[in-house]
Amino acid sequence: MSDVARTTEVAAADSPASVKPAAPRARRGLWSASRPMIDRYKWYEVAALYVGLFFFLFFVLSPFIEGFLVSLKPLAQLFSRPYSFIPKTWSFDAYFTMWQSVPALGMHIFNSFFISTVVTLIVVVIVVPAAYAFARFNFAGAGFLLGAFLAVNMFSGAVLLIPLFRLMRTLGLLNTYWAMIVPGAAFLIPSSVWLLRTYLMRIPRELDEAAWVDGASRLYTLRRVILPLAMPGIVVVAIMTFIGAYAQQFIFALTFNSKTEFMPLPVGLFAFFGKQEVIWNELMAASFVGILPVMIVIIFLQRYLVAGLTAGAVKQ
């Protein structure tokens, strides 16, 4: 999947209020009387649900489990048969030796984080006014432009690679951070415009009009009335953009940059495949260490994400 896929989070986020926290219901016992009758399951239904969930989550998570176990197996054991899922001897060596195999690993981890952060900043600065314009003003061509923005989503960076390469070369951006940041942001703007526009449309128009009657300028209204109310929505857009930018760092980084010191994590680790023999345990160890900081941040922000989607000023 490319950029487009991840942008469908817009659609997913369109109906965010519906993702109700189900915790209170789940906390009651399965068969307790306080549980609504309609939610009561027979024992075999519960069993079937858990078996189904087991297979579903096994499919989703097995690469991570296997990857983690691989990072704990010594290379000799990894390349031995018969296969054993659980390591016979546990070893954390890969987590130490990987720093020699990929000297720039720390740099790659930082680059991934840095590129996504700058992309997010650019997108938010550009998207907030644009989304406001689409949400509030019925200017001529608004519908067409909005559609055009959505269409941009459909073209992946891979199709436009050749002219983008030429453009980056002309602008002198090849082999810099910007070669990855500039195109990366472009393909994340449209979906963010759509997402934030939906959010802004839920803020009552009367607020703008009241500010207008009180003599506030349009820009002042945007800055002082709308922005504070839209903050939860902007945070959601920022998080979605960050995830998008973080998850897709590959093709631009692979094509527009050849300097090791600017490579983000995915491309930095791609170098493992160029060697005679792929050192899998180190590759997996480096992957896990590399994504850990951002995973923690995202898990931490996930609550804020749900809160931002369901609560806030928009509900009035």
Among the listed ranges 91-99, 152-160, 172-180, 196-204, the one in contact with other proteins (CB under 8 A) is: 152-160
Query: Is the CB of 108 or the CB of 312 nearer to other proteins?
Result: 108
Site for other proteins (CB under 8 A): which residue of 152, 216, 307, 313?
A: 152
**Considering only residues 121, 126, 216, 307, which one is a binding residue for other proteins as defined by CB under 8 A?**
126
Interacting positions 270-299 with other proteins (CB under 8 A): 270, 272-273, 280, 283-284, 287, 290-291, 295, 298-299
Pick 22 or 316: Cβ nearer other proteins: 22
In the region spanning residues 154 to 193, those forming contacts with other proteins, defined by CB under 8 A, are 154-156, 158-167, 182-183, 185-187, 189-190, 193
SS (H, E, C) the chain: CCHHHHHCHHHHHHCHHHCCCCHHHHHCCCCCCCCCHHHCCCHHHHHHHHHHHHHHHHHHHHHHHHHHHHHCCCHHHHCCCCCCCCCCCCCCCHHHHHHHHCCCHHHHHHHHHHHHHHHHHHHHHHHHHHHHHHHHCCCCCHHHHHHHHHHHHHCCCCCCHHHHHHHHHHCCCCCCCHHHHHHHHHCCHHHHHHHHHHHHHCCCHHHHHHHHHCCCCHHHHHHHHHHHHHHHHHHHHHHHHHHHHHHCCCHHHHHHCCCHHHCCHHHHHHHHHHCCCCCHHHHHHHHHHHHHHHHHHHHHHHHHHHHHHHCCHHHC
- Smallest separation, CB 228 to other proteins (Å): 18
Residue 131, CA atoms < 13 Å, CB-side half-sphere: 27
Contact 195, 237 (CB under 8 A): yes
* Interacting residues of 97 by C-beta distance below 8 A, sequence separation 6+: 282
Segment interacting with other proteins (CB under 8 A) among 56-64, 91-99, 195-203, 223-231? 56-64
Question: Of 195, 190, 184, 119, nearest to 151 (Cα)?
Answer: 190
Q: Which two tokens stand for residue 69?
A: 């176990």
The distance in angstroms from the start CA to the end CA of the chain is 38
**Nearer to other proteins (CB atom), residue 70 or residue 234:** 70
Task: Assess 86 for contact with other proteins (CB under 8 A).
Answer: no
Q: Which stretch binds other proteins (CB under 8 A): 1-9, 88-96, 97-105, 229-237?
A: 1-9
> Is residue 56 at the binding interface for other proteins, with CB under 8 A as the rule?
yes
Site for other proteins in 200-239 (CB under 8 A): 208-209, 212, 218, 222
Cβ proximity of 260 and 268 under 8 Å: yes
Does 104 participate in binding other proteins (rule CB under 8 A)?
no
**Shortest reach from residue 96's CB to other proteins, in Å:** 20
Q: What's the closest the beta carbon of residue 188 comes to other proteins, in angstroms?
A: 11
- The piece of 86-94, 95-103, 226-234, 258-266 that touches other proteins (CB under 8 A) is 258-266
Question: Least distance to other proteins from the beta carbon of 38, Å?
Answer: 5
- Nearer to other proteins by C-beta: 95 or 165? 165
Of 20-28, 94-102, 172-180, 228-236, the segment contacting other proteins by CB under 8 A is 20-28
Task: Out of 32, 34, 43, 60, point to the residue binding other proteins (CB under 8 A).
Answer: 60
Q: Toward other proteins, which CB reaches closer, 232 or 272? A: 272
Residue selected from 79, 92, 220, 304 as contacting other proteins according to rule CB under 8 A: 79
